[in-house]
Amino acid sequence: MKQVIISILTGALLTGTATMAFADDTIKDRKQNQQKRIAQGVKSGSLTPHETAHLENQEAKLNKEVRTDRKANGGNLTNKEKAQVNHQQNKLSKEIYNQKHDGQNQ
C-alpha cells in the first residue's frame, strides 16, 4: 500500500513539474515567435522604424517584468503571473498584427 501511495505522489509531482516547465517553455516560444514576426515586418517593410521601436519597447518591458517576477519567486512564475504574461503576450501579438497590416510602409 505504501508503494502505491508513493508511486501516485511521485507521478503527481512529476506531472506538476512538467506542467510548470511547459508553461515556461510556452512563454519563451511565444517571445521568440513574436521577435521573428517583428523582424519579418522590418524586412518586408510593413513596419516603420517608429512602429518597430514601439513594439520592441513593449517586448522589452514584458521581458523585464517576467525576469522581475521570477527573481521575486525563486526563479518561477506563479499561476497568476503566468496568466498575466499570457494576456500581455496576446495583446502584443494583436498589436504586431495590426501594425504590420495598417498600410504604412517604410
Is 2 part of any domain?
no
In terms of Cα–Cα distance, which of 69, 72, 102, 101 is closest to 85? 69
11 located within any domain: no
Q: pTM of the full predicted structure?
A: 0.73
Model confidence pLDDT, tens digit, residues 89-102:
999 999 999 999 98
The verdict on residue 40 lying in a domain is: yes
The larger pLDDT score, comparing residue 13 to residue 73, is at 73
pLDDT digit string (tens) for 1-52?
Answer: 566 566 566 666 665 544 445 567 889 999 999 999 999 999 999 999 999 9
Q: Is residue 45 part of a domain?
A: yes
How many independent structural domains does the chain possess?
A: 1
Decide if 64 is inside a domain.
yes
Report yes or no on 95 lying in a domain. yes
Does the residue 17 lie in any domain? no
14 is a domain residue: no
Q: Is the pLDDT of residue 106 over 80?
A: no
pLDDT at 78 over 70: yes
Q: Which domain holds residue 56?
A: 24-100
How would you label 40-53 residue by residue, b for 16+ Cβ within 10 Å and e otherwise?
Answer: ebbeeebbbeebbe
